[in-house]
Amino acid sequence: MKKSALFAAICVPAFLAAAPLAAKTLVYCSEGSPENFYPGINTTGTSFDVNEHIYDNIVDFERGGTKVVPGLAEKWDVSADGTVYTFHIRKNAKFHSNKGFKPTRNLNADDIVFMFERQWKEENPYFKVTSPNHSYFNDMGMPKLLKSVEKVDDYTVKITLNQPEAPFLSNLAMQWAGVQSKEYADAMLKAGTPEKVDQDPIGSGPFFLVNYQKDAIVRFKAFPEYWGGKAKIDDLVFAITPDASVRWAKLQKGECHVMPYPNPADIEAIKKDPNVTLMDQAGLNIGYLAYQTTKKPFDDVRVRKAFNMAMNKKAIVDAVFLSSGVPAKSPIPPSMWSYNDSVKEDEYNPEAAKKLLAEAGYPNGLETDLWAMPVQRPYNPNARRIAELMQADLAKIGVKAEIKSFEWGEYRKRAQAGEHQMAQLGWTGDNGDPDNFLHTLLGCASAQSASGSNIAKWCHKPFDDLVTKAKVVTDQAERTKLYQQAQVIFKEQAPWFTVAHAVQLKPVRKEVVDFKLSPFGRHTFYGVDLKDK
């Protein structure tokens, strides 16, 4: 009885004492917990958001953009043939310290080489620590691309590639290439606790980790010795808040300053709140319906074109995306360099579609499947609903489409194997390079692989030649031309019905100064300030 009396006393409602105010603390209501503190094996944006503050990369994306700017490397040289990159590492990048480790030296070439070798060489003692599954390193084709990574001197690293690869720099700016301290790694290996490196992280980024409580909070402090200058805020807190409506309630009350992924139902209220700004930006993504071009009837371009004309894109986007999407006519988003705005959109015209279908040999229509993803994604908030709208539109030209779905992992696997006739899918860009859309999603290499992302299985030589050439040319103006031509061919050949580019909406409180939306959907708070209320 005593025990319950004690608890009763404690649980009785009490509205007392306001909390003390800290210097400049920015609270971000994040949506979940990070997997761990090793970006090399992370696959979720949630983890990247956390690790981006702790670690630095050789090169970075400019804040709020996709342009590659110097990071740990002050400058770099590329050989004329585009296969040798020499990076000159800045000498003033310092590592954080924690209870168990104090660094004795600044960041240097050894750390850069360690970042590569840990993910690349199986004999590296850290290859298997925490996990051997270096997803992005593999996905970006690094094992095949890298010939050697050498330390020339303490502050110079030379990377030789097997063939020229224009997006290489952009790839290095991605989070998987965050640099850890080799000195720390060696010390922990010696102490017999290598996993500590990924649990109590030490990086050279603008913030250092103070503490992490799973599902509750990630707490950072600005690193005063950061090479780019101390952050404008003193403390950064990620208050982990999984429910979107609760995040909104917290933002309204000022319990946090920035929140991701608002609930569509709350958007109207968010727009009306005088203390909150709703920032928006078309994201680097695309939601699409892929036709399996190696299967009948979609091996015929006329059928694909007819389908593209039969579906009312605007109505679909209006009904399903509400204010969070814009109709797409190209596989790459308008904000990406080389976007070709002169490409003509297939007009919505069921009559013409019906005629074209008859021309292709289907005067009485046809039957097909139509796959709908079982999950919600920014580029496709409701695949089932979209499928239903498409089904209704297609019925008007005599096409009977049967909607199918599978468990998500199964869905992807089957779609990548090309088991569908029509399947919805989408993509969020990794590195801001058109190659990451046009070659990765529509190139022949990825059509021929059983686990490739080209689920239209579309391998069209004129298109593939262009995007493969653009991969090895380093001059951006020339690459732009190539990609713009490729988009024209894409539209003529119609391997996809491009649905929409999702717009990312970010409610931010008005006291937050200079927060920039990242085209990659990341949330970065270096450079952000808070003004007094």
Partner 1 sequence: MLRFILTRVSLIIPTFLGITLLAFFLIRLVPGDPIETLAGERGIDPARHEQLRKEYGFDQPVIVQYGIYLSRVLQGDLGKSMITQEPVLTEFSALFPATVELALCAIVFALLIGLPAGMLAAIRRNSIFDHGVMGVSLTGYSMPIFWWGLILILIFSVQLDLTPVSGRIDVLYYIEPTTGFLLIDTLLSDEEGAFWSAVKHLILPTIVLGTVPLAVIARMTRSAMLEVLGEDYIRTAKAKGLSRFRIVALHALRNALIPVVTVIGLQVGVLFTGAILTETIFSWPGVGKWLIDAIFRRDYPVLQGGALLLGIVVMAVNLLVDLTYGLINPRIRHNR
Question: Where on the chain is the footprint of partner 1 (CB under 8 A)?
Answer: 4, 7-8, 10-11, 13-22, 25, 27, 32-33, 35-36, 43-44, 130-133, 135, 138-139, 195, 198-199, 210-211, 213-217, 219, 237, 239-243, 245-246, 249-250, 252-253, 255, 406-410, 412-413, 416, 428, 449-451, 453
- Residue closer to partner 1 (CB basis): 30 or 181: 30
333, 384 contact by CB (below 8 A): no
Residue 395 CB, nearest distance to partner 1 (Å)? 30
515, 258 contact by CB (below 8 A): yes
CA dihedral for 244, 250, 251, 253, sign (positive or negative): positive
- Residue closer to partner 1 (CB basis): 154 or 410: 410
Strand order of the sheet with strand 25-28? 25-28, 235-239, 217-222, 207-213
Residue 66 CB, nearest distance to partner 1 (Å)? 19
Residue 398 CB, nearest distance to partner 1 (Å)? 34
Closest CA to 40 of 57, 24, 60: 57
Residue 52 CB, nearest distance to partner 1 (Å)? 17
Residue 376 CB, nearest distance to partner 1 (Å)? 12
Tokens at 148, concatenated = 């050697």
DSSP for 487-501, written as a single string? HHHHHHH--EEEEEE
Residue 1 CB, nearest distance to partner 1 (Å)? 11
**Eight-state DSSP code of residue 177:** G
Residue 22 CB, nearest distance to partner 1 (Å)? 5
Q: Where are the alpha helices (DSSP H) in 311-434?
A: 313-321, 350-359, 383-395, 408-416
CA pair distance 372, 360, nearest whole angstrom: 26
530, 26 contact by CB (below 8 A): yes
Angstrom CA distances, 436 to 336, 365, 439, 466, 476, stand at: 11, 36, 6, 14, 15
- Residue closer to partner 1 (CB basis): 419 or 465: 419
Helix (H, G, I), strand (E, B) or coil at 150: strand
- Residue closer to partner 1 (CB basis): 140 or 486: 140
Neighbours of 186 (CB within 10 A): 16
- Residue closer to partner 1 (CB basis): 131 or 156: 131
394, 428 contact by CB (below 8 A): no
- Residue closer to partner 1 (CB basis): 259 or 289: 259
Angstrom CA distances, 378 to 143, 173, 284, stand at: 30, 23, 11
Closest CA to 28 of 237, 273, 291: 237
- Residue closer to partner 1 (CB basis): 14 or 80: 14
Residue 452 CB, nearest distance to partner 1 (Å)? 9
- Residue closer to partner 1 (CB basis): 266 or 464: 266
Residue 466 CB, nearest distance to partner 1 (Å)? 23
Residue 297 class from Cβ within 10 Å (0-12 exposed, 13-18 middle, 19+ buried)?
Answer: buried
- Residue closer to partner 1 (CB basis): 216 or 322: 216
CA pair distance 80, 97, nearest whole angstrom: 40
- Residue closer to partner 1 (CB basis): 9 or 80: 9
CA pair distance 57, 204, nearest whole angstrom: 9
- Residue closer to partner 1 (CB basis): 36 or 180: 36
Residue 451 CB, nearest distance to partner 1 (Å)? 5
CA pair distance 117, 113, nearest whole angstrom: 6
- Residue closer to partner 1 (CB basis): 48 or 76: 48
Closest CA to 125 of 172, 57, 192, 58: 192
Residue 485 CB, nearest distance to partner 1 (Å)? 27
Residue 16 CB, nearest distance to partner 1 (Å)? 5
